[in-house]
Amino acid sequence: MHTLDSSGLRVLTREECLRLLSRAPIGRIVFTDRALPAVQPVTFRLDGDSVVIRTSPGSKLAAATRHAVVAFEADDFDVERRTGWSVTAVGRARAVRDPDEIARLSELPPAAWAPGERNHYIVVDMEQVTGREITRE
Amino acid sequence: MHTLDSSGLRVLTREECLRLLSRAPIGRIVFTDRALPAVQPVTFRLDGDSVVIRTSPGSKLAAATRHAVVAFEADDFDVERRTGWSVTAVGRARAVRDPDEIARLSELPPAAWAPGERNHYIVVDMEQVTGREITRE
C-alpha cells in the first residue's frame, strides 16, 4: 500500500528518505540571505539524523545558516522516463565548535569539491523529513 | 578572463545563466511555507526573463508562492568528474490570471510530470540571476 499526496505522488517513509539521502552525492541547502530566499548546492554526508556540510569558515553559507532553521533537499530524476524522487529535511543548522566532534566529522569521507580550506562544519539536525516519488506504473 | 568567487568557483554571466536554464528540464522553487523554508522540484520553461511553472490551482505551491519573493534554482553536476554548474534566480512569483497570457503559456511545450489537472501557471519574473561553475583544469 502506498500513500499518495494531493498531487498523486507517492509519499516516502522517513526510512526511505534517509536511505535515499545516504546515497545522494549532492544536496541543496535552503536558507535566508539578507531577507531573501537563497539556495546553494553542496556536497554532504549523512551522520545519523544529521546532514553534515563542509565549508570554509568565512563563507556566506556559514554566516547565513548560523542558528537558522534551514531546509535541505536532494533529488534524482530520470528525464527520459519522467520518474524520480525528492527528499526535503527541515532543521536547525549549527556550526560545529566542539573539537572532538570536528575530529570525528573530519573522518567522514571527504566531500567538498570546491577549492580552498574547508575546515568548517555545518550540521543540520533534521527534524522534519519528507519525500515524494514519481513513478510510472 | 573568468571571475572567481570567494570559494574559487567561476562566476557565470547572466547570458550564460539564461542559456543553462533554457536547457534544464528540472528546477527547484524555494519559498516559505508556514514560516519555514521550503523547496520543491518542478518542471519549468523559460519564457524570456521569466520562469513558468505549471501546477494545479489548489497546490501548496500555488498557495505559498502567491505574491511571494521566491528563489528558483537549477543545476547539473557530474559526480565522477566533480564538475558542474548551478544557477539561482530570485524574483516575485505571480499567478497568471490573464486569459490571453494563459492561452499563450499553454502553448509552451508541456512540462508537468505529475498526474492531475495542471492548468494553473506560476510565473517568476527573474530579477537577480546568478550562477557558478566548478571546472577541473
Chain position carrying cell 513558468? B52
Chain B nearest C-alpha distance from A136 (Å): 10
Closest CA to A121 of A88, A91, A97: A97
Residue B67: pLDDT over 90: no
Q: What is the mean pLDDT of residues B96-115?
A: 81
Residue A135: pLDDT over 90: no
Of A9, A73, A79, the CB nearest to B114: A9
Q: Are B20 and B73 in contact (CB under 8 A)?
A: no
Confidence tier at B35 by pLDDT (50, 70, 90): confident
CATH number for A10-134 (one of 2.30.29.30, 3.30.365.10, 1.20.140.10, 2.30.110.10): it is 2.30.110.10
Using the Cβ of A114 and the Cβ atoms of chain B, whether some distance falls under 8 Å is answered with yes
Whole-angstrom CA distances from A51 to A11, A62, A91, A96, A129 are 21, 14, 10, 12, 11
- Say how far apart CA B83 and CA A89 lie, in whole Å: 25
Q: Which residue of B lies nearest to A117 if distances are taken between CA atoms?
A: B7
Q: What is the mean pLDDT of residues A21-45?
A: 93
Q: What is the mean pLDDT of residues A48-70?
A: 88
The runs of H, that is alpha helices, within A24-135 are 60-64, 99-105
More confident residue, A127 or B59: A127
Cell of A35: 531577507
Q: What is the mean pLDDT of residues A18-38?
A: 93
pLDDT at A55: 85
Using the Cβ of B70 and the Cβ atoms of chain A, whether some distance falls under 8 Å is answered with yes
Using the Cβ of A3 and the Cβ atoms of chain B, whether some distance falls under 8 Å is answered with no
pLDDT at A113: 67
ipTM over 0.85: yes
pLDDT at A91: 97
Whole-angstrom CA distances from B120 to A9, A44, B64, B67 are 18, 35, 14, 15
Torsion on CA atoms B129, A54, B84, B79, rounded to nearest 10: -150
CATH number for B10-132 (one of 2.30.110.10, 3.30.70.1140, 3.60.21.10, 3.40.640.10): it is 2.30.110.10
Across-strand partners of B126?
B91
pLDDT tens digits, one per residue of A78-111: 989 989 999 999 999 999 999 999 989 888 876 5
Q: What is the mean pLDDT of residues B53-61?
A: 84
A9–B71 CB contact, under 8 Å: no
Residue B46: pLDDT over 80: yes
Q: What is the mean pLDDT of residues A51-66?
A: 87
- Say how far apart CA A126 and CA A136 lie, in whole Å: 30
Confidence tier at B47 by pLDDT (50, 70, 90): very high
Q: Are B102 and B52 in contact (CB under 8 A)?
A: no
pLDDT at A65: 87
Domains of chain B, by residue range, sit at 10-132
pLDDT at B106: 85
